[in-house]
Amino acid sequence: MPVGEDQVQHLELSREVARRWNQRFSPDAPFFPEPAALLTKSRRIMGLDGKAKMSKSLGNTVGLLEPPEAVWEKLRPAVTDPARVRRTDPGTPEVCNIYHLHSAFSPPAVVEDVAVKCRTAGWGCIDCKKVLFETMNTELAPIRERAAHIRETPRLVNDTLEEGADRAAAVAERTMEAVKARMGFAE
Ligand code: SF4
C-alpha cells in the first residue's frame, strides 16, 4: 500500500488486526492479507524552510498545481546546506532539501550530477535550483493539465466516485459474507 513514512504506524495497526483475525478465524489459510507499506526512496520531504515537514500552516510548501512562476518564487529563497556560505564552499547534498527534491523529481543521472557538483562546489545553489525547477516543471506539467481538465468537467469526478463506490460496495458485501461465515454468523 503506498503510504508516507508517517502512516506506517497506522498501517501496522491494520496488519495487527488482520493477523489476529486470521489466527483466530482462518488459521489454516490467511483470509485477510497483511498490507505492506510501499515507500518510495523520497519517503519524507521537508518544507522549503528546511526545519519541519511541509505544512500549509507553516507556509513552507510547494503546491503541485501552483503555476511555475509561483513555484520558482518559493524555490529561489529555499534553505540549502548551511555549509555553503560562499559559491566556492563544498556542500553535503544529503543534508539539503533541494537535493531530496531532486531525488523525487529529477532523472537519476541528474541527481548524481547534482551530488557531484554540490560536493565539489562545481556550481552554486541557485544553478542547482534552476535545474530542479526545470525537472519539476517537466513532471508537473501533465499533472496540471489533467487537473485543469478535471476542473472543467466536474461530472467526470462525480461519475468516477460513484462508479468506485459501487465497485467497493460489491467487494465489501462479498467480503462481509465470507467474514460472517468464518465467524459463525452466517444467516
Ligand atoms: S548545490 Fe544543490 S544540493 Fe548542494 S547545497 Fe546547494 S542547493 Fe543543496
- 44-57: pLDDT as tens digits: 788 898 888 888 88
Q: What is the DSSP letter of 95?
A: G
Q: What is the pLDDT of residue 51?
A: 81
- Give the chain's residues under pLDDT 70: 43, 186-187
Q: Which of 47, 19, 13, 51 is nearest to 32 (CA)?
A: 19
The percentage of the chain sitting over the pLDDT mark of 70, rounded to a whole number, equals 98
Q: What is the pLDDT of residue 57?
A: 86
Q: What is the pLDDT of residue 187?
A: 63
Transcribe 130-184 into DSSP letters: HHHHHHHHHHHHHHHHHHHHHHH-HHHHHHHHHHHHHHHHHHHHHHHHHHHHHHT
132 Cβ closer than 6 Å to some ligand 1 atom: no
Measure the N-to-C terminal CA separation of the chain; round to a whole number of Å.
33
The 10 Å Cβ neighbour count of residue 118 is 25
Residue among 45, 48, 75, 80 whose CB has most ligand 1 atoms within 8 A, to mutate: 80
Q: What is the pLDDT of residue 140?
A: 97
Q: What is the pLDDT of residue 5?
A: 83
User: What is the Å distance from ligand 1's center to 106 Cα?
Assistant: 14
